[in-house]
Amino acid sequence: MNSLTIALNMIKRVMGTKRGLFFTILLPVAVVSMIIGIAGGQGTYQGKIVYWNQDQGTLGAEVISALGNGENVKLVPVESKDKGENEVVNRNADVLMVVPPDFSASLLQGKGEQIRLQYLTQSEATAGIEVMLKQLTGSFAGFADAARAAGHTGEELRKQVDAMIAAKNQGTSVVAVTTAGSHGDPSLQMVIGFLMFFMMLSVSRTVGFILEDRSQQTMSRIYAAPVTKLQITFGNFLGSLLVGMLQILFLLLFTIYVVGFNYGTDFGSLFVILSFFMLAAMGIATMIANMARSQNMVGILNNLVITPSCMIGGCFWPVSMMPNAMQKLANFVPHKWAIEAIVDLSNGSHLSDIGLNLAILALFALVLLAFGAASLRPADTVEN
């Protein structure tokens, strides 16, 4: 009961004033709605892709067929790589897609031969095509793994994979290549990214209030009452958790039912993933607060962590658009795993298919909260 009182007081302090309501709810709603209005109307990728298919099997043609199902995608074959490159250089085509000769054989044997793309400049459209190719080849590779696990080899293996692909094509809807690399609105990653950005800012504000209580000895005075240290710590944690969940709830309800944005998946799955991310964000905020020696230092550390981590994690642009070194670095921030999970759900996956992403987010939260838990306790003091 004492912990709940502390938590409710935290909610009142963060969201109970005009300023708090503005920064926690109104500003995120305004910014995200503006992003939806600007980027939401971009539609699916519209352009011309020339391809040179050297594949000696059937899987290369299946990939091309799947890409060609998009209504606004024009796929044109070329006789050689040089001709395809000339089309791109002369801007008669946006992308050249080269399917290697052993593409089917490599996928069937579990090897990593990939289709290569060539273009003049990287963009959201080319990034979307790259993501779609990875999804298609990953799906085919999964079929091959299953067939090999069942004991099929050689020609029988190829027939089994072809049968799985045919069954999938009959049971699923037409694929559309979008500039976000998903089957839904191309602004999906950016909308989710900005939601996460504001969630991190909100959590950092709640932790800032906790740090203020420590610096002003408010926690110590509370501890003088019949309230245990564990109740104070849990109350602060619960308050931050409830503030984040209320923000998620309001933003999702507003963008879905008022703005009309389509996330490509159900409300419950979105709420679960963002809640896992919010726990990781709490871990980051508490760790920053635990490292700080003054309240001013908290603001400096927040600026050095929140925005750069959002940039690396793909909140403002797709991770696939970044250099390889930055893409590897993205694996060490929770943003990337949350966005990837939501994009996978929008592409038809289920919660059971993104268990690894949720486990990684939970691990982020567990480790970071373990390091930063001291900032939630009343024992330590912080300089003013």
34 burial via Cβ count (<10 Å: 0-12, 13-18, 19+): exposed
Q: Which residues of the chain carry a pLDDT beneath 70?
A: 1, 38-47, 69-73, 112-113, 122-125, 127-128, 131, 168-187, 212-229, 292-296, 298-299, 347-348, 372-384
Contact 236, 376 (CB under 8 A): yes
Whole-prediction pTM:
0.63
How many whole angstroms separate alpha carbon 84 and alpha carbon 49?
A: 9
The DSSP secondary structure of 130-185, one letter per residue, reads HHHHHHHHHHHHHHHHHHHHTT--HHHHHHHHHHHHHHHHHHSPPP--BTTSSSS-
How many whole angstroms separate alpha carbon 357 and alpha carbon 245?
A: 19
217 burial via Cβ count (<10 Å: 0-12, 13-18, 19+): middle
119 burial via Cβ count (<10 Å: 0-12, 13-18, 19+): middle
Tokens of 38: 């600007």
**pLDDT value at position 227?**
66
Q: Which residues contact 352 (CB under 8 A, 6 or more apart)?
A: none
Q: Alpha carbon of 375 to those of 34, 211, 239: distances in Å?
A: 36, 7, 14
How many whole angstroms separate alpha carbon 374 and alpha carbon 376?
A: 5
Query: How many angstroms separate the first and last alpha carbons of the chain?
Result: 31
**pLDDT value at position 131?**
67
Per DSSP, the three-state class of 96 is strand
How many whole angstroms separate alpha carbon 61 and alpha carbon 64?
A: 5
How many whole angstroms separate alpha carbon 216 and alpha carbon 312?
A: 35
Where exactly are the structural domains of the chain?
2-40+184-376, 47-171
Contact 360, 336 (CB under 8 A): no
Query: pLDDT digit string (tens) for 165-223?
Result: 777 666 543 334 433 333 334 467 788 888 888 888 888 887 777 776 666 655 555 55
Q: Which amino acid is at 286?
A: T
Query: pLDDT digit string (tens) for 84-97?
Result: 888 888 888 888 88
**Superfamily grouping for domain 47-171:** Periplasmic binding protein-like II (3.40.190.10)
Radius of gyration of the chain (CA): 25
Query: pLDDT digit string (tens) for 254-270?
Result: 888 888 887 878 888 89
